[in-house]
Amino acid sequence: MFTVYEPLWVTKKWFSKLVIEDDKQVKLTEDVVNALLSCQFTRSKAGTAFLAYTPRTWLNSANVFEKNVFRTASFATKTKTGRKTWPNLYQHPEFAEDVCLNKFKHSVVKVGQIRVPYESISVFIPRVFHANPDTDIRILHIVRDPRGSINSRIKNGWISDFTYEGFPELAANICDKIEANVQFGRDLESDWLKERYMEITYRDITTMPITTAKKIYKFAGFEMPDSLIDWIVKSTNPDEDELIEALHNPYSHVRDSSRNNVKWRSESPIKRVRVIEQQCKKLLDLLGLDEVADEMETLCS
């Protein structure tokens, strides 16, 4: 499996260093995703430029993802003395294409909404499909409770907390974008697109990990190996030492699934939850989620 985790951190770095028009940002982002989905890194300058970041992690945390697919044995060559080495893929994009096309059957690209152009999938997804007519693409849209999502963003230092005077507007903006994306997926009219799009909630993943995994694999057309079930059980039911280690890495896949779905409730001040629920009522209703600020206040009184 050719798996690439959060490649749009790279485009985010490009845009933070250079003044690039919005339309150009959209095109560069699409070109990177298209290159990874189709294995055609020479098709665009952005696809080739992305390869310059593959010798190292392109993410803010070195521990975000344990395996960089570009540094696995599939991309390695051997010297005359038998020493394993990795070519400079930026200088040899044809080699990257050949390996990607011939040594992997499937590509999986994980991108966060916050790094998608305008944080909107309504334009991005159709354009990705249009640019890759010969690639069987499936879109798995993972939707999280906005109270949990905003809690994570605050913990990671990406946004200010509720004491910031602009927090209500900030929360409303986040939820409006999530709501628009969810509504886009649910309103798809084309049967062809409907068959290639699936909405999954973070709640489903954490409360029913094995059932949800089977559903995802069936949607993707993959056979689910027994070893994956073992991995899911181990990742969602860690022992105490594994859990303590994972807690230091916000991106770790190891989590106590029985607690993680509502972990935000124990970490979020009631005032923050109340503001989010006031600003995000339409999204909560769309996702079938109940307001809990009053309940939290009662339990604390």
pLDDT for position 20:
86
Confidence of residue 60 (pLDDT cuts 50, 70, 90): low
- Rounded Cα–Cα distance for residues 53 and 212 (Å): 33
For the segment 273-282, the average pLDDT, to the nearest whole number, is 98
Residue 242 pLDDT grade (very low, low, confident, very high; cuts 50, 70, 90): very low
**Of 223-227, 229-233, 245-249, 264-268, which gets the smallest average pLDDT?**
245-249
86 in Cβ contact with 92 (< 8 Å): no
Query: What is the token pair recorded at 33?
Result: 């995703």
Query: Tens digits of per-residue pLDDT, 115-153?
Result: 898 899 988 898 999 999 888 999 999 999 999 999 999
195, 216, 192: which is closest to 204 by C-alpha?
216
Cβ atoms within 10 Å, residue 272: 21
pLDDT for 155: 93
pLDDT of 290 above 70: yes
The predicted structure's pLDDT at residue 66: 55
At 251 the pLDDT is 47
| Among 115, 96, 92, 93, residue whose Cα is nearest residue 104 | 96
What is the number of helices (H) and of strands (E) in the chain?
17, 6
Residue 234 pLDDT exceeds 90:
no
% of the chain with per-residue pLDDT over 90: 63
pLDDT, tens digit (0-9, with 9 covering 90-100), for 12-53: 989 988 888 888 999 999 999 999 999 999 999 999 999 999
User: What is the CB-side half-sphere exposure of residue 203 using CA atoms within 13 A?
Assistant: 10
What is the average pLDDT across 189-214?
Answer: 91
Compute the average pLDDT of residues 244-248. 47
**What is the pLDDT, as a whole number, of residue 259?**
60
Q: What is the pLDDT, as a whole number, of residue 239?
A: 52
How many Å apart are CA 149 and CA 128, to the nearest integer?
A: 26
pTM of the predicted model as reported, rounded to 2 decimal places: 0.84
